[in-house]
Structure 1
C-alpha cells in the first residue's frame, strides 16, 4: 500500500512568475533523494482528496465510452507507463507519443512532452477531452459523476461546489503527487554512503557525469533540467511531430522535447517521445553516435566515442544505479457503484 504522510514539511514551490516562495504541505515521509514536491496553493493536499483521486485514476467511467481509465496507459505494473510504443485510446486509435511514467511527476515544472501544461491540474483534463484518448466532454463527465452516489458524496465532503471538472483535475493531481520513488544507489551515495556506487555502477556513474555528459541535461538528484531539447528523435517520421515548435511557431523549436526524469528507467521502455528505442543499450548507442543530425540539434549532443566497456557500464548505472528501493505499490481501489 502507498504510504500517505500527514506531517508538514517546509516546501519550495513556484509562483506564476517563476520565483520561489515558501508553502506548507503534508509531505514529510518521502524517499531519500526526493526533497520537494510542487503543490499549488489552490490545491492543498489532503488524504481524502488523494483517495478520491486514486479512485478516479482507475475508473474507466471517466472515458466517454467507459473503456479506458488513466491507469490503462499509466499502468502500475508497467512502471506507471505503458510498454507499447503508442497506446490505444477509448476508440482504439493510437496516441502519437509514447506514454511517460507518472512516478515522481510532482517534481516536474511543465507537463507533456512539449511542455504545454504548467501544472498537473492543467494537464489532467487534456487526456480526458482528447478524442484520441478518453474522449469525454467535461459537462458529460460532471453529470456522470454526480449520478454516482459514492462520488457525489465524496466530492461534497471535500469541495464546497461538489463535482466539477476542475475538482476532478485537483483530485487526480493530488493522487499523482503521492507517487514518489527514490533511495536509488545514487541517492544513497549523495546521502553520504560512499560505497553505494561500487563496481560497475560506480564506473557508469563516472561516465554519466563525465565523458558522456548526461548530467548537462539530466542534472543530479532530479535528473532533469526542466527544459526542452532537440536530440534528433523522430526525424524519420513522415508526419513529424512539431514538438515545441507547435506551441511557439518558431522553426528553431522544432524537435525539442522535455528532458525526462531517469529514476527507474529500466521499468519504462520503450524510450523517447516516439518510443523509437526499445532498450537502454539502444538509447546509449543513439547518444554515442551523436543523436539524430538536424539543423537545430542541441549543441550538447555530440558523438561520445564511448568504448564497448564504457557503454556497458553506463547502461548498468542507468539500470541499477537509478533503480529505486522505495517505489509506489498500491492496491487498486474499490470503485463506487
Structure 2
C-alpha cells in the first residue's frame, strides 16, 4: 500500500463538501452466490498443485492481505508485488498495482494463470470442480449451464463485492456522530488534508480511484535510489502493463480503509510500520518532513477508517 500524503478544518460537518465519503450500507448481493464464491475463494483446487487458494494470500482475518513482503505461491514461489487487501476492492477503479485488470471479474484470471501464484488454467479447474457432485449441484442451482469458467469467476466476484467494511468510526463521524472520533483522530484528519495526502487518497475508498507516481518529488529525493535495492519490473508500475514511458513508476493509489491492518506497505512491501510509511510518503511524495506528533495523529486518523465485516472476525 502506498500512502500519498493537506486543506480545510473539520468543524461543522457538511458531508457533501468532504473529499471522503462513507462506504454505502444499502448494498444488495445474491447470498447464494456469495456463499458459493466464499467456498471457491478458500478452495485450493484453483491452484495447479492443490496447495493454495485465494485466501492463502488474501487472509480475511488479517485484513484481506497477509503479513509478508510478497506472498508465496505454488511450489513456494515468491510473488513480485505486495498483496493488496481484497476488502473494499470493488470500490477500486481498476485492479492490481499497475491497473492491468479493469474489474474484479477480469482480476480473477491474474492469479489463476500466474506461474508464481496459482499456475493453473480454467479447463483444469472446471474439470476438478465438475467431478465434485456437491459442487456441481451448487452451481446448477444458480447457473443453468453449471460449472464453467464464467460462472466460477462470477461467484468469486460476487463474494469479493460483498467484502465491504461498514460503519468505520470515521464514516459514523461523517454521518454526524461527533463522538465517533477522538480529538487526535480529528486532528489527524485535518493534517491529512493540510499536508496534501487527500489529493490522492479521497473518495469512498480513500484511494483506489486514480493513478499516481511513486516518488513524485525526484528533484528532492528519489525513493528507488535511496531504497538500496535494484529496480524490478514491478517498480515500473503501470509501464509494465502499457509499455508507455509516461507510465513509469505510476501506480494505482491504494485504499487506506484497512491500512492499519495490512502491513507491510507499498507495492514492494518494504515498510512494516504505518508511521514509517507516512514519514516516507511525506518525504518522497510531498517533499516535506512531517513531525513525529503529526505522523502519530495521521496514523490515528487512518485507524479510524477501519470498518466492520463478519469475515474479519471469523
Pair in the same fold by TM > 0.5:
yes
Structure 2: where are the runs of 5+ without partners?
1-20, 216-222
Larger helix proportion of the pair: 2
Pick closer, same or farther for the CA change 1:328–1:104 going to 2, 3 Å.
farther
304-313 or 279-288, which deviates more: 304-313
The equivalent position to 1:228 in structure 2, one of 188, 211, 221, is: 211
The equivalent position to 1:49 in structure 2, one of 10, 25, 33, is: 33
Post-superposition, which runs of at least 4 consecutive aligned residues in structure 1 deviate over 6 A? 36-39
The CA deviation string for residues 125-183 of structure 1, in whole angstroms up to 9 with x for no partner, is 22111111111121111111110111111111111211111111111000111111132
1-side partners of 2:39 and 2:231: how far apart?
37
| 2:76 counterpart SS class | coil
Partner of 1:89: 73
1-side partners of 2:26 and 2:102: how far apart?
14
Partner of 1:282: 276
Q: CA deviation at 1:307?
A: 2.1
Partner of 2:49: 65
Whether the aligned pair in 1 keeps the contact of 2:224 and 2:231 (CA below 8 Å) is no
Say whether 1:188 aligns with 2:188. Answer: no
Partner of 1:9: none
Whether the aligned pair in 2 keeps the contact of 1:288 and 1:304 (CA below 8 Å) is yes
| 1:188 counterpart SS class | helix
Aligned pairs (5 A) from 1:290-301? 291=284, 301=285
1-side partners of 2:205 and 2:26: how far apart?
11
236-245 or 170-179, which deviates more: 236-245
**Larger relative contact order (C-alpha < 8 A, sep ≥ 6)?**
2
Aligned pairs (5 A) from 1:150-229? 150-210=134-194, 212-224=195-207, 226-229=209-212
Whether the aligned pair in 1 keeps the contact of 2:165 and 2:309 (CA below 8 Å) is yes
Partner of 1:35: 24
The equivalent position to 2:309 in structure 1, one of 301, 306, 327, is: 327
| 1:329 counterpart SS class | helix
Structure 1: where are the runs of 5+ without partners?
1-31, 40-44, 292-300, 333-337
Whether the aligned pair in 2 keeps the contact of 1:234 and 1:274 (CA below 8 Å) is no
The CA deviation string for residues 29-48 of structure 1, in whole angstroms up to 9 with x for no partner, is xxx92128999xxxxx4222
Q: CA deviation at 1:122?
A: 0.7
Pick closer, same or farther for the CA change 1:183–1:37 going to 2, 3 Å.
closer
The CA deviation string for residues 90-113 of structure 1, in whole angstroms up to 9 with x for no partner, is 111100000111111121121011
2-side partners of 1:88 and 1:230: how far apart?
27
The equivalent position to 1:316 in structure 2, one of 263, 277, 300, is: 300
TM-score (norm 1): 0.79
1-side partners of 2:132 and 2:143: how far apart?
16
| 1:101 counterpart SS class | coil
